[in-house]
Amino acid sequence: MNTTLFFTYGISLDDWKKTGLMSREIAIYEKMYIEHGIEFNFITYGDKTDFEAIEAKGIKIYPVYTRIKYSQYKYIRLVKTFLIPIIFRDILRKTSILKTNQLKGSWVAILSKIIFQKPLIIRTGYDALKWSKFEKRGIIYTFLIKLLTKISLILADQYNVSTLSDKIFLSKQFKVEDKIKIRPNYIDQKIFKDFKLQKVDELLFVGRLEEQKNIKFLINEYKHYELPRLNIVGEGSYKKELISEIRENNLNINFIGQVSNQELPNLYNRFKYFILCSKYEGNPKTLLEAMSSGCIVIGTNVEGVNSIIKNNHNGFLINSQKGDIEKVFKKISGSQINLTVIKQNAIDYISLNHSLEKLSKIELLDYDKLLMVKS
């Protein structure tokens, strides 16, 4: 069996490497090759540097810009994507299944399905249409995303979403349900696990330093309350502003910066608490990794977080209101909260719903079903 994965439009394998996502993203494909002999083709939006970005058995790399000339003009680059199915026809003719990494760029996979008559899985880590409303995108952008979503739902053999709320949203919007499958993010619990070490009583934040992550709220809380030391891991457009604010106000915050995915297990096991204060989320991997690693997690009571954290059971929910974080730590300091139980509940939740072992088996079943239908 051979599966071709179309990368998110504009994303290269080198991008995955630079942002520390590589090992996290390819784990399921490496596992399926080792255990079941399934080979994978990655069609990426990179150049020859992508060939050097990875050494993994069972994965072959096909960078778009080794066969198509890169243009500095974004609309020309976009138009050229419609040539990908023809230019990579030698690969696509032989593949068994087509799959996308996100909705953005799925038009290439859809064209490939039409031309080569292969089963297609559209995978979405988050729902782009819903996020376009959260982010208050323009009318044209929202219309195009809605159109792409509708076409994808019609032509895909299977449409994967990461949460129940995404499935409900799309089912209501487009009156399609059977094709939509819930396939949440996976966690490799052999890597992200509780090392049983003595953790320091400090907070850890891992994420992009952007508006969506609500990082300014978190910083402001440290201006008004005495909270455990905060350690920030990540990069983004707010970086310089946040570092300046931390220094000017002499806040109890340590800025670590960007780290690789390989370093994250040690960080999760170094700090006792993890916080995610996003305004909205899909199926946040950092939260899942922290829970799997035995952190006590705190998250905002928003879609994508409150479906994972059950308040006072496997973590704590806050409402992004002034003083909310302090209230959690006052509750924790009380004798009524058993943190050992909460930590174990979090680990058990990941094992039941997000383990790589479980989700790789489901992925294999998906492939088998699609090939049976085709035959």
What would the pLDDT profile of 216-251 be if each residue is shown by its tens digit? Answer: 999 999 999 999 999 999 999 999 999 999 999 999
| Percent of the chain scoring above 70 in pLDDT | 99
- Looking at the fold, whether 226 and 132 belong to one and the same domain comes out as no
Helix pair 339-353, 285-292: axis angle to 10 deg:
120
Torsion of CA 344, 346, 348, 349, to 10 degrees: 160
Sign of the Cα pseudo-torsion (133, 304, 337, 291, in order) = negative
Task: Give the residue-averaged pLDDT of 7-26.
Answer: 90
Q: Is residue 191 part of a domain?
A: no
- Looking at the fold, whether 335 and 289 belong to one and the same domain comes out as yes
Residues 6+ apart with CB under 8 A from 20: 258, 259, 260, 261, 262, 263, 264
- Looking at the fold, whether 82 and 219 belong to one and the same domain comes out as no
Q: Is residue 192 part of a domain?
A: no
- Kindly tell me if the per-residue pLDDT of 58 is higher than 90: yes
Q: Is residue 311 part of a domain?
A: yes
- Kindly tell me if the per-residue pLDDT of 291 is higher than 90: yes
Residue 260's CATH number: 3.40.50.2000
| Predicted pLDDT at 262 | 86
- Looking at the fold, whether 345 and 302 belong to one and the same domain comes out as yes
pLDDT band of residue 69 (cuts 50, 70, 90) is very high
Task: Point out which residues pair with 257 in neighbouring strands.
Answer: 233
Total domain count, the chain: 2
Q: Is residue 193 part of a domain?
A: no
Q: Is residue 195 part of a domain?
A: no
Task: Give the residue-averaged pLDDT of 91-120.
Answer: 97
- Looking at the fold, whether 35 and 134 belong to one and the same domain comes out as yes
Q: Is residue 209 part of a domain?
A: yes
**Model confidence pLDDT, tens digit, residues 109-155:** 999 999 999 999 999 988 888 877 777 778 888 899 999 999 999 99
Domain of residue 317, residue span: 200-353
- Looking at the fold, whether 365 and 326 belong to one and the same domain comes out as no
Q: Is residue 108 part of a domain?
A: yes
**DSSP H or E stretch at residue 22:** helix 22-36
Average pLDDT of the chain is 94
**Model confidence pLDDT, tens digit, residues 273-283:** 999 999 999 99
| Predicted pLDDT at 375 | 63
CB 246 within 8 A of CB 253: yes
CB 325 within 8 A of CB 227: yes
- Looking at the fold, whether 159 and 231 belong to one and the same domain comes out as no
Q: Is residue 152 part of a domain?
A: yes
- Looking at the fold, whether 165 and 311 belong to one and the same domain comes out as no
Query: Nearest 5°: phi and psi at 105?
Result: 105, 0
- Kindly tell me if the per-residue pLDDT of 203 is higher than 70: yes
